[in-house]
Chain A
Amino acid sequence: MILIVDLSWKPRSLSCSEFAGPVSTIVDNAGRHPVMVHFSEIHRKITENAAGIILCGTALKDNDFASRAEEFTWLVGSPVPVLGICAGMQVLCQVFGGKIYPGCEIGMTEIRVIKTDPLFVEEKVFQAYELHSFASNPPDDWVITAVSDGYVQAVHHPDRPIFGLMFHPEVRNRDLIVRFLSLCREEPGYQD
């Protein structure tokens, strides 16, 4: 099971289908089993059953998650791969000791890969969809793998399969999510 975490300001909000929905569809189409849960409803049993965790984005005006960082400390001990998308990357940066600060990008933006990793298999320039009003500075020991002219766009943990993407890969860059799924352990019971 791949745990898709909705970071919107309230459970079952109008934003859930916009941000968690498309990620769930990609996970499903990749032959994995997505389970969508709002961050306020996360409990130990559900995280223990996850083969991977994806933290999804939020509406541009929705930064409620940032003031509730204490509700995400369970991520620090996660034994499975984690991918944070936009708001999700901001949460990862916050709970692992980095910072977020006001910084807005809307629309297609040029991204430059500056270091390869399991998600970025080659150094290249590509276009990605952005929608954020805050940007992130990762913890000092994290690796920055991609940047735009204005902001850090992709990071990973120095030792563990924990990744952050500032842009929205579910729009136009789905292959990155599929590549992340390949890092999550196979679960034969959930395969099609």
Chain B
Amino acid sequence: MKLGVLCSGGKDSLFACHLAMQSEEVACLISVRSRNEESYMFHTPNVHLVGLQAEAACLPLISVETEGQEESELADLRRAVCEAAERHGIEGVVTGALLSVYQATRIQRICRDLDLWCFNPLWYADQESYLHRLLGAGFKVIIAGIFSAPFDETWLGRLLDLDTIEDLERYAEKYSITLTGEGGEYETFVIDAPFFHKQIVIDEATTEYCNNHGVLRIKKAHLEEK
């Protein structure tokens, strides 16, 4: 079955892509770039770099822009999925939804309207074992945004490794964050994945930080042999 993977550039969508590749054919990545930083559906700090990830994975990318208003961004997502179906013949969509009924419900409805399959292979996965599977599979992931206490500026750009997972587990226990950041506590960016033919090297990035909120804005990056 040919599938399109909804991709924000973060760990969940690209790990879902990795899982989809184990049993089906991933025909393209699909990204929706939102101009609204408050978007529940699509906003991530470095979504403009999904194109570089697609290039690293040797996958075509369908990318659309949205103003990010609640109703129009769903229409824009639908437009992107339609384009993926027309250009690449996808029969279904894969998402990295973990716990968000809000996101999953809306994507399920769009897929039903378009007579497409919808797969959420990380849905309600055990969060701790998911993070360890991610590392075990060879993903290299950095923290690209923080949006809640007690995260501070030192987290921006930090590599997701065993020490980071330990710290996240401590935060989850003490401050009730979701371990995987599904509650919007932090965002990630994938710089390498097992299906990337090249890895992403960041040449230039800036940080913006204030009161436990911050983003790592990647200004310039390139692909390098692994």
Interface positions of A (Cβ within 8 A of B): 12-15, 17-19, 21-22, 25, 59-62, 104, 106-108, 129, 131, 133, 170-172
Contacts and interface: CB of A to CB of B under 8 A. Distances in A.
Contacts of B112: 60-61, 104, 106, 133
A60 B115 CA distance: 10
A17 B20 contact: no
What does DSSP make chain B's interface, helix, strand, loop or mixed? mixed
B119 A15 contact: yes
Given A17-B19, A59-B119, 12 more contacts: A17-B125, A18-B123, A22-B123, A22-B124, A25-B124, A59-B117, A60-B117, A60-B118, A61-B115, A61-B118, A106-B112, A171-B124
A23 to B, nearest CB: 9
B95 to A, nearest CB: 10
Interface stretch (B42-50, B59-67, B101-109): B101-109
A171 B101 contact: yes
Interface string B87-128: 000001010000001000100110110011111111111100
Contacts of B111: 60-61
Q: Which 5 A/B pairs are nearest by Cβ-Cβ distance?
A: A22-B124, A107-B105, A18-B123, A14-B119, A17-B121
A21 B124 contact: yes
The number of chain B residues touching the other chain, given as a range, is 20 to 34
B23 interface: yes
A108 B111 CA distance: 17
A97 B179 CA distance: 45
B117 A107 contact: no
A57 to B, nearest CB: 11
A14 B101 contact: no
Contacts of B94: 14
A131 B124 contact: no
14 contacts: A14-B24, A14-B119, A18-B119, A18-B120, A25-B124, A59-B117, A59-B118, A60-B118, A61-B117, A106-B105, A106-B112, A108-B105, A129-B101, A171-B101
A18 B121 CA distance: 5
A107 to B, nearest CB: 4
Interface in B124-141: 124-126
Contacts of B24: 14
Contacts of A25: 124-126
Contacts of B20: 14
Nearest to B1: A14
B60 to A, nearest CB: 20
A106 B108 contact: yes
A17 B108 contact: no
B118 A13 contact: no
Contact of B19 (A14, A107, A131, A171): A14
A157 B125 CA distance: 31
A111 to B, nearest CB: 15
Contact of A12 (B23, B92, B105, B126): B23
Contacts of A133: 112
A17 B123 contact: yes
Contacts of A59: 117-119
Nearest to B97: A18
